[in-house]
Amino acid sequence: MPLLIYLAIAVPGGFQIMERLNSDGVCYLHRAMLLARGDFHDAIAAYWSPGLIVSTVPMLKLGIDPLHAIHWTLLVWGAVYVIGGILFFENVWAASILALVALRLSTSVITPDVLLGTAMLFYLVALRRRRWFIAGLIAGIGFWTKAYFLPFFVLHFAMTILWMKGGWRAMVAGACGFIIVAGPWIGILSEHEGKLTFSSATTRNRFMQDVAPADVLAHPPDVSSVPPGPFISNMEVTDHDDWPRWSPLDSYEHFRQQMRVALQHLGEIIADVWRFDYAGFTLLAVVLALAIGDRDSRWLVISGTIYAAGFLLVVYETRYILPVLLPIGLSITLAMARRIRWNPLVPLVLIAFAGSAAWADYDVITQKQSRVTYRQIAAELKSHGIHDRFVTNTANRDKAACTAFFMDQKFIAMPNDRDPSVLQLKLNERGVVYLFDWFDPQYADSDAWPEPQTRAILGDGMWIEQFRIRLDSKRSLVVYKHRPSA
């Protein structure tokens, strides 16, 4: 039944989201296209994990439109996630709730979160059954979906061995399983980067604006260069050695910043866990599990804590924890509801989780979209003869990446300089002819909009508005062309 519920909603719902695209999706999809064409060197990246990239290739080989192919790939992974939930819960009603969660994970944005959640469910099932070698193999697959699985596996597997008294043989079996699957990708990455490499995500994610200290943010790397090789933007090429590195041990101020980030993210994680059921059942069940729960429930609490703890140090979004902590939370909550032995409580828990998941699905499927898709924007730009490199302000780089994907044209991020002459010189050196500005009246009167660099070059009279593409009744894309000086 859970799988039927998922398919009944996901198939018709999938057709509603086929044109949705986000900047991360561009990066995964473009590399999948490169891999499908046999360009192995450019398809490899230390930042973009290969799981979603590799699994999209079969769809591309079938001749399916690339954007639709990656969406269908995620929908298939959603079905596998539901199967993992059936094995994890061994309860048809709980697994049916996870079918609703799978729909959200596979349709909201193009990311590998549903892949990671799938690997995690099968990994936890293997550990519960004390299949140590299989757990290691699955953890290796998890590493292919997201590099975050590596540090989690090291800490969590060691904890589980101690908790379940598995002994050193279990430890060796799990480690061997992990190395068999993860080792080849680590070897490929290390050869590609010229040094032992697991991922480059940590450095980049610790430079985000809501994570890094002000003195580190004051020296951002220059990402306004022309994207190398076949890439359309430098968002695809994040494996830079020039990203500023920082540590809470650098100084007292850096330590304070790390503590502020950790406390902020802890509050956000707790708030997101509360939204799993909107009734507080999950948070209450965690407390009860630690006090009166059985060993399995307490093990799940520790497992969820280890998984969530890593996001106290780096950038955090709800989607990072949803595919893992929600099934763990539901399992713990159901276990505590049965332990209390009040018959109406179990149905109440299921209704609370189902209601929250269904509302989230409705919000994702019906969320307001621009009347004009990125594919249509690119087609109209081409109809106006726009075939040259363009620049956009930093706030709209995501939109620019999605538009550039369908134009098959490189775009340049706005340089960091404030001097109009220096800005224009850099843009000339990069062969930039057009400037795209996504106009939104909501921000038109803001001093921060457009950003200073855009205001600076538009104010010199050398950029002439060519035309506008209406996105809806209020927003539009304004296209400027540079007028060379006489």
pLDDT at 447: 52
**At residue 14, does pLDDT exceed 80?**
no
pLDDT at 426: 87
Return the half-sphere exposure (C-beta side, CA atoms, 13 A cut-off) of residue 242. Answer: 6
- Mean pLDDT lowest among 331-340, 367-376, 404-413: 367-376
What is the C-alpha separation between 348 and 305, in angstroms, rounded? 25
- Per-residue pLDDT, averaged over 82-109, amounts to 88
CA 230 to mean position of chain CA atoms: 23
The 10s digit of each residue's pLDDT in 142-189 is 999 999 999 999 999 999 999 998 888 999 999 999 999 999 999 988
Q: Which residues of 408-436 are buried (b: 16+ CB within 10 A; e: fewer)?
A: ebbbbbbbbbeebeebbebbeebebbbbb
The 10s digit of each residue's pLDDT in 424-444 is 888 888 888 899 988 877 766
What is the C-alpha separation between 427 and 131, in angstroms, rounded? 58
**At residue 448, does pLDDT exceed 80?**
no
Q: 449 — alpha (psi -120 to 50), left (phi > 0) or beta?
A: beta
Strands of 334-455 (E only): list them: 390-392, 411-413, 434-439
The percentage of the chain sitting over the pLDDT mark of 90, rounded to a whole number, equals 37
Could you tell me which of 382, 392, 273 has the C-alpha nearest to residue 325?
A: 273
What is the domain partition of the chain in residue ranges? 2-206+246-366, 374-482
Give the confidence band of 240 by pLDDT, cuts at 50, 70, 90: low
Give the confidence band of 369 by pLDDT, cuts at 50, 70, 90: low
